[in-house]
Amino acid sequence: MTLRTIDSLGELSGKVVLLRCDLNVPLKDGVITDDGRVRASVPTIRLLLERGAKVVVMSHLGRPEGAPDPKYSLAPVAVRLGELLGVDVAFSPETVGESAAGVVEAAPTPGVVLLENLRFNPGEASKDAAEREAFAAQLAALGDVVVSDGFGVVHRKQASVYELVQALPSAAGLLIAAELEVLDKLTENPERPYTVVLGGSKVSDKLGVIGHLLPRVDALLIGGGMLFTFLAAQGHKVASSLLEADQLDTVRGYLAEAAERGVELVLPTDVVVASGFSADADHVVAPASGIEDTAFGASGIGLDIGPDTAAAFAERVRASKTVFWNGPMGVFEFPAFAAGTRAVAEALTHVDGLGVVGGGDSAAAIRQLGFPDEQFGHVSTGGGASLEFLEGKKLPGLEVLGWQ
């Protein structure tokens, strides 16, 4: 593994370090509902402070379309970051320019500044490389060196992730290094048995991962909304459940490849079928082959794996030495349809080896269901980035850090 680390930057005392984090946290009425990504950024910030640097933290939040939008402000994150660090975090209402430079200049050394949402500037996520370079140059004017630590965005070619890293001396932070170490273990000689559990709504989101991992895993367990496309590919009726009809041939190909390779591709044997998509919908457990045979008929909708499937999945997870899980097993946001996700999460805490929660909705699910991050081998901060890495794709934000 080749990756420029913070040590490669030399003496940092008295320097201004521009630190790209991923602080894209969920907010409700201005309150952070899951601070996992903020907590994940703390170790690198602390290390830089210990080395005497002034740390200028940068991040995006949401999709504000290149213009300021108060509901996407990082101001609440500055408060939470200060609480976690135990220091005052200065907040700059601007991302670049004289105002931002003034806030950075006024902050103590060592000390911490958080810039406002990078995506308030159209240059951050522009498709035009010249626009990104111009914004990166404005950011670069605020500091001396760059540390990239936002693993959740390394698959994006954006100004703060790509062009800025090339504009100044740069290195990866502790979070990116830790993520890559775990992902490397999942792709290079994983301890066996190796099981991958995939869920979430769309099979199309996971096609690349399935294709790349089939030659590498011992078992692939399929849950979530994507399971219905697999069931339909086997000829089962799925009523009004989520179905990607355009993916049926691709899924049949994966079922055939799994059989050919001797990989266990395990589908649910039972499903929780509801009368509609709501938290209080009537629901029953049905065999996976009889989803339309419930009282709801063709209007029924599958919202979770059934109890027999949950128990079988949990048993396979616990018996594995390496497990990667990405995507909930059902609509975990509704308590009545969270049992499958809870069963997989609970089993993952008992893996005698490496159990990885693959970020995104999976990470949100474990926290909502009351599981501390510390109970798992690793909780990724990058759902999309993790998946693209496991697909074998080149990630621009890693390539500019020397990763090969």
Q: Is 23 annotated as a binding residue?
A: yes
Flag whether 181 is marked binding: no
254 and 317 Cβ atoms separated by less than 8 Å: no
User: How far is 301 from 214, CA to CA, in rounded Å?
Assistant: 29
According to DSSP, residue 5 is labeled: B
- Does the annotation place 63 within a ligand binding site? yes
193 preceded by cis ω (within 30°)? yes
Q: Beta-carbon neighbour count of residue 182 at 10 Å?
A: 16
With a cut of 80, say whether residue 359 has pLDDT above it: no
Q: What is the pLDDT of residues 336-356, one digit of tens each?
A: 999 999 999 999 999 999 999
Range 362-391 average pLDDT: 90
Residue-level pLDDT at 187: 87
Q: All domains of the chain, ordered by start, with CATH?
A: 6-177 (3.40.50.1260), 190-391 (3.40.50.1260)
Least confident of 104-108, 209-213, 255-259: 209-213
360 is known as an active-site residue: yes
Q: What is the pLDDT of residues 268-314, one digit of tens each?
A: 999 999 999 999 999 999 999 999 999 999 999 999 999 999 999 99
Contact, 267 vs 222, CB < 8 A?
Answer: yes
Helix/strand/coil (H, E, C) string of 33-48? CCCHHHHHHHHHHHHH
333's tokens: 């946001």
Which of 140-149, 279-288, 304-313, 385-394 has the weakest average pLDDT?
Answer: 385-394
| Per annotation, catalytic residue among 202, 216, 252, 367 | 202
**Residue that wins the pLDDT comparison between 170 and 385:** 170
pLDDT of residue 1: 55
Predicted confidence at residue 71, as pLDDT, reads 93
Q: Does the active-site annotation cover 82?
A: no
pTM here is: 0.90
Choice among 123, 300, 360, 397 that is catalytic? 360
Average pLDDT across the chain, whole number = 95
CB atoms within 10 A of CB 57: 27
What pLDDT does residue 360 have? 81
Question: Does the annotation place 24 within a ligand binding site?
Answer: yes
Measured from the Cβ of residue 393, the count of other Cβ atoms closer than 10 Å reads: 13
Catalytic option among 37, 54, 185, 316: 37
Q: Which residue has the higher pLDDT, 117 or 387?
A: 117
Q: Is 218 annotated as a binding residue?
A: no
CA distance 64 to 87: 29
Q: Is residue 402 annotated as a catalytic residue, yes or no?
A: no
4 is annotated as contributing to ligand binding: no
Which residue, 298, 301, 268, is CA-closest to 282? 301
- Mean pLDDT on 170-179: 96
- pLDDT band for position 44 (50/70/90)? very high
Ligand-binding site membership of 132 (annotated) = no
Instruction: Say if residue 26 is exposed, middle or buried (CB neighbours under 10 Å; 0-12, 13-18, 19+).
Output: middle
Was 60 annotated as part of a binding site?
Answer: yes
Average pLDDT for 206-224: 92
Residue 268, Cβ density class (10 Å: 0-12 exposed, 13-18 middle, ≥19 buried):
buried
131 annotated among ligand-binding-site residues: no
φ, ψ of residue 35 to 5 degrees: the values are: -95, 20
Tell whether the model's pLDDT for residue 208 goes beyond 90: no
Pick from 45, 160, 134: nearest CA to 400: 160
Has 330 been annotated as catalytic?
no
20 is in an annotated binding site: no
- The catalytically annotated residue of 208, 211, 384, 402 is 384
- Which among 58, 55, 59 is positioned nearest to 17, based on CA atoms? 55
Neighbour tally for 270: CB within 10 Å: 20
Q: State how far the Cα of 276 lies from the Cα of 335, in Å rounded to an integer.
A: 15
Tell me whether residue 333 is annotated as binding.
Answer: yes
